[in-house]
Amino acid sequence: MPSPPKESQTATPQTGWKKIWSEQGENFLILAIALVLSVLIRMFVAEPRYIPSDSMIPTLEIGDRLVVEKVSYHLHSPKAGEIIVFSPPKPLQVQGYSTQQAFIKRIIAQPGQTVAVRNGVVYIDNQPLEEDYIAEPPAYNWGPENVPADHYFVMGDNRNDSNDSHIWGFLPQENIIGHAAFRFWPIDRWGKV
C-alpha cells in the first residue's frame, strides 16, 4: 500500500502588518528595552555630568566629564571629603537657579560638626582641616556654626571663586543627587575622582 503524501514543511509567506512586525518587531522591542533601561539607570544608578565652572579647580577643571554614582548614598550617609553633585537648595533657587541645575562641591562638615573659617584655615570641631586639594586658602572668615541634622557644609576647592555653603548656608541631604565617582573626559585625566 502506498504511503500518504507528506505535507509540505515550508512556511506560508506573511503579508502586511504581520510581515512588518515579524521583521521589525524584534528590533523595536530591543530598542524599547534599551531606552527604558537607559532611563532607569540614569534616574537611579548613575549619570554623566559636565563641569561648567572653575569652582572645583584644581581637582576638576572646566570641561571635565564625570560619572555621578547615585546608589551608595541609599546605603550609607555622605562623608566629609567626598565630592558630591546636588540640586540647588532654597537660597539658590531664590537667586534664580533652577532645580534642574546641578552643583558640584566637596563635603567639608557633616551633621553635628562645628565649622569655621579663620585666617585662611577651615576648622572642623576646632581642629584645622588639612586640605592639599585647594587652589588657595580662603580669603574670608565664616562661622563658627554647628551643622544641623540632615545637612552638610560644602565648599568648592577653588575657595575664593565658589558659590558654596559659606555664602548660602547648609545643604539639605535631600538635595544630594550622588557623588562624583569617575572622570571619563578628558582622556589624559581619566580615572577616579
Question: Among all residues, which ones are annotated catalytic?
Answer: 55, 105
Partner residues linked to 104 by β-bridges:
85
The residue written with cell numbers 548613575 in the block is 46
4-17 in b/e form (b: 16+ CB < 10 A) is: eeeeeeeeeeeeee
How far is the C-alpha of 46 from the C-alpha of 28, rounded, in Å?
25
Q: Where are the alpha helices (DSSP H) in 45-181?
A: 90-94, 165-168
Residue 23: in which H helix or E strand, if any? helix 16-44
How far is the C-alpha of 188 from the C-alpha of 59, rounded, in Å?
14
- Cell numbers for 14, please give them: 506573511
Peptide bond before residue 186 is cis, with ω within 30 degrees of 0:
yes
